[in-house]
């Protein structure tokens, strides 16, 4: 337990909360003295939390009331404790990581390093934007599913798979999920529609050849059903469904 390398091998167990109190305390001390470890631990913790996605379960409604009541009479710890310093440390760590990668790749000329830096920044920015988008979508989906008035309808799609729609009239928000549909063919795509008295409105086109996906409904209004159609890749060009595969009433 006293060897630095040995204690570092506990990073996984730490991230999973699988250490005894004693080992945990020792590990926390170790991380405090090792900024590279801190970075790894942050990522492993983030990873472990993703396992929580599989445990999703709607809580009883009284939990909401109990939590809000307690929150209303609970004082918060004050803002302004140590947010700046760790961020700077982290930035240095990350920079070192990139520099190390650049050197390893044989890019040692100064200009070369600068280029790698810019490219990496760009790529990280793109990935982050995508991840943000995904998280926002996920947060909206979770909000719909957690809504008190959520209504869920599901139908099987001829040829295999399911279309499920969850809506909250209160939030005026909803989500359509397609799962396990037969591939429409590499040049075709499934398109999702919201059906109102005025006709169908497209709410999303899946990637070509894909039989699963999710589309968010921004407004449900007076819609009576959702539908999925098969289209040429990229979706219907006429504004109406070409071949309706299945519909689910709301």
Partner 1 sequence: MGVTTRAGRGDPAWTGPEHVPMGPDELLRQVARGDEQAFRSLYSMIAPRVYGLARRVLRDPAQAEEVAQEALVEVWRTAARFDSAKGSATSWVLTIAHRRAVDRVRSAQAGAERERRVAAASGQTPYDDVVEEVTASLEQQQVRRCLQGLTDLQREAITLAYYSGFTYREVAEKLDTALPTIKTRMRDGLIRLRDCLGVEVSPAPAGPGSVRR
CB of 3 or CB of 110, closer to partner 1: 3
As a whole number of angstroms, the distance between CA 229 and CA 206 comes to: 11
Q: How far is the CB of 159 from partner 1 (least distance, A)?
A: 20
Strand-pairing partners, residue 205, are 191
Q: SS3 for 1?
A: coil
Helix boundaries (H) for the chain? 4-8, 11-15, 21-32, 35-50, 61-72, 84-104, 110-146
Region at 123 (left for phi over 0; alpha for psi -120 to 50; beta for the rest): alpha
Helix, strand, coil percentages, rounded to 5, for the chain: 45, 20, 30
Q: Answer yes or no: are the C-beta atoms of 192 and 228 closer than 8 Å.
A: yes
CB of 154 or CB of 224, closer to partner 1: 154
Q: How far is the CB of 224 from partner 1 (least distance, A)?
A: 18
Q: How far is the CB of 158 from partner 1 (least distance, A)?
A: 20
CB of 94 or CB of 111, closer to partner 1: 94
CB of 60 or CB of 111, closer to partner 1: 60
Q: How far is the CB of 144 from partner 1 (least distance, A)?
A: 9
Distances (CA, A) of 213 to 54, 57, 115, 168, 203: 18, 21, 37, 20, 12
Q: How far is the CB of 130 from partner 1 (least distance, A)?
A: 6
CB of 52 or CB of 106, closer to partner 1: 52
CB of 7 or CB of 102, closer to partner 1: 7
Residue corresponding to tokens 């919201």: 194
Q: How far is the CB of 51 from partner 1 (least distance, A)?
A: 5
């Amino acid at each position: 337990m006293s060897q630095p390398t040995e204690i570092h091998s506990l990073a996984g167990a730490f991230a999973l909360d699988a250490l005894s109190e004693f080992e945990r305390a020792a590990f926390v001390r170790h991380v405090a003295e090792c900024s590279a470890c801190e970075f790894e631990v942050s990522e492993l913790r983030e990873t472990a939390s993703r396992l929580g996605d599989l445990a999703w379960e709607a809580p009883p409604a009284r939990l909401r009331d109990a939590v809000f009541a307690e929150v209303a009479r609970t004082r918060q710890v004050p803002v302004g404790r140590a947010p700046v310093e760790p961020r700077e440390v982290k930035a240095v760590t990350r920079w070192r990581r990139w520099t190390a990668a650049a050197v390893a790749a044989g890019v040692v000329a100064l200009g070369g390093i600068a280029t790698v830096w810019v490219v990496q920044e760009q790529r990280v920015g793109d990935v982050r934007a995508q991840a943000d988008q995904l998280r926002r979508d996920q947060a909206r989906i979770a909000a719909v599913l957690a809504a008190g008035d959520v209504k869920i309808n599901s139908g099987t799609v001829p040829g295999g798979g399911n279309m499920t729609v969850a809506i909250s009239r209160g939030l005026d928000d909803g989500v359509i999920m397609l799962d396990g549909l037969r591939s429409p063919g590499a040049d075709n795509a499934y398109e999702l529609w919201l059906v109102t008295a005025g006709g169908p409105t497209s709410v999303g086109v899946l990637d070509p050849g894909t039989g699963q996906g999710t589309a968010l409904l921004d407004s449900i209004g007076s819609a009576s059903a959702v539908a999925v159609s098969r289209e040429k890749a990229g979706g219907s060009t006429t504004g109406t469904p070409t071949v309706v595969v299945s519909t689910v009433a709301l």
